[in-house]
Amino acid sequence: MLNIVFQFSQEQDGCPWHPTRLTPAQLEARRLAAGRLLRAGRLSQVEIARAFGVSRAAVCQWRRQLQRAGLAGLRRRPHPGRPPRLSALAWRELGRRLRQGAQAHGFPTEQWTLRRIARLIQRCYGVRYHPRSLAPPLRAHGFTVQRPAAQAKERDEALVRAWVKHDWELVKKKRVASTGRLPSWMRRVTRFGPA
């Protein structure tokens, strides 16, 4: 008895359900399972195509590849293109370093900027990134942009609360008394509190 790797959880109109997106490992497993069935010769190409949810042309290609290179020909091949500048281990390590904070790495404030991250990467791994080209790989490895809310350095929270409590009410009352109603921007601020 042949062991088929894929199990289908739902049937509609006699056709097995097939996921729309498979990972590269799942695609490879599907090709290898189909290759084993082709090699065994018990099922036709049409039956294999139907069982795995692929076209007959795909099964024909797999059969040709199987004849040329065996099951090894159906395995994943490395992606063409430039190899990554940092390994997966280095990216995990970088994440740990970023969580330690910017001041732990000699920067004057806790805010991480692309320029600072680029300097940290160059210092720790000897790999040079331009700050503008660093955002896509950071996003690809699960890092997100965090923008701090802009605040004046001289901001005094106690003074702001006192102004909202006393002066803001006077501003609203004077405005209503002079025109009879508040302008739209003041209504928004009044409804949700001043910004």
Q: Measured between alpha carbons, how far is 2 from 5 in angstroms, rounded to an integer?
A: 10
Helix/strand number for the chain, H first, E second: 9, 2
Query: Please, what is the average pLDDT of the chain?
Result: 81
pLDDT at residue 155, as a whole number: 82
What residue ranges do the domains of the chain occupy?
Answer: 13-74, 88-140, 158-192
pTM above 0.95, yes or no: no
Q: Measured between alpha carbons, how far is 50 from 83 in angstroms, rounded to an integer?
A: 37
pLDDT tens string 38-61: 999 989 999 999 998 899 999 999
pLDDT band at 195 (very low <50, low <70, confident <90, very high): very low
pLDDT at residue 15, as a whole number: 47
Report yes or no: 63 and 31 within 8 Å, Cβ to Cβ. Answer: no
pLDDT at residue 1, as a whole number: 31
Backbone φ, ψ for residue 41 (5° rounding) = 75, 15
pLDDT > 70? residue 185: no
Report yes or no: 70 and 78 within 8 Å, Cβ to Cβ. Answer: no
Three-state secondary structure call for residue 16: strand
pLDDT > 70? residue 192: no
Which of 48-57, 81-90, 159-168 shows the lowest mean pLDDT across its residues?
159-168
Which of 45-54, 127-136, 184-193 shows the lowest mean pLDDT across its residues?
184-193
